[in-house]
Structure 1
Amino acid sequence: MWDTADAQFAAARAYFAEAGTLAAPRHATALDKTVGQWLTNCRRPGGLGKDTERAERRAAQLTAADPDWNPAALGWTVDWQRHHVGLKALLDEGAQLAEIVPGVTWRGDDIGRWLATQKRDWHRLNDEQQARLGEWGVEAAVRRRKTATAAGVKNGSARGGESFTRGVAALAQYVEREQRTVVPRQHSERITLDGQDHDVRLGLWVSNQKSRRDKLNAGQLAQLAELGMDWAQDG
């Protein structure tokens, strides 16, 4: 059915046997073949050949190898599919969902960071994506604390300005997602406020707030204490 492409299809099946998915990055190889680029080409319009019947047979072969070989037909990207498979692999290996945090990888992909993004951007996922993740207990990140804190800053409960607003919002998002209050010094957190994305060097920001504790007002200290910063509490 593949004619001269038989070797590439064999390489694709070999890649699936190893990775559990045909959502290969473009640079992926198997059996000394550039299987990632080949699969990318297959997914393009007309990529399975101009002959309709032969294209349908080829699509059927790929579907038999991996029903999700063409994620665009499902409403998401190859990258999303590969990370989704990576999350399943980690869980199948015995990892707990709470243990899959940024920095936990599978075959070179940072599954922890991807998972945190899915929770944060849950409303952007389609129903099928939410259903697939929901089977493993993944759900939207709870942002009530972040929203209240950020609103409090903007309403004048603290005078730290936009920088403090972003810092507190980033800290709230981090605490809600990670369920811990210790922030690695090198950690950066991406947040969205008023429709704009911001990258906050959160670990450094927390360290700076702690070192200048005596310069923070009562409202600022109260917000930090609410987020679990023991050093911000009274006494």
Structure 2
Amino acid sequence: MTRQLPYAQMKAIFSRLREIEPEPKGELEHVNAFTLLVAVALSAQATDVGVNKATRGLFPVADTPEKMLALGEEGLIEKIKTIGLFRNKAKNVIKLSRILIDEYGGEVPSSRAALMSLPGVGRKTANVVLNMWFHQPAQAVDTHIFRVGNRTGIAPGKDEGAVERAIEDNVPAEFLQHAHHWLILHGRYICVARKPKCGICPIRDWCLYDQKEDA
């Protein structure tokens, strides 16, 4: 397993990432906490681009739990049928909308435990909502972060939970709020899975990856 980068190199990496993108943003389109929650739930095993295409027709008519229930499961399916697993996702979104109304006054809760009690909402989805909407330094580890964390030595771990803990334990506190966004963007566009773009990588000098390529 990749060894953990020392503190000085971690600080150098995140300082560089912050210079490049001081305020990184998630790429899922949303207008409030509810639409963010729905968008992230829909994004499981789907691309952000694909989810955005679907939600551009959905959110103008269903941007609250009440409007989502009024749209109904079949109406929702019609809006999101281009997304993988759309039937099961539609069922979960309708169920979570009802729970938000019945148990939370129609508001999205700011507790990880409460979020994870909702149908179709796992830890990763909850952490995205906590970070992006409630500005908590939660770390939503996806395949990009898992790869970058292990490949670079920023956050080595054998599973997503271990990588999440490594980020929380080892990334300097001043960078934790935006850490997962910086790492997602780096993994999506530079440190890609099959052939990382080491030649244009802004953090190459500190990365522990031993198979760097110049291309």
TM-score, structure 1 as length reference: 0.23
TM-score, structure 2 as length reference: 0.24
Q: 1 or 2, which has the higher strand percentage?
A: 1
Bigger Rg, structure 1 or 2: 1
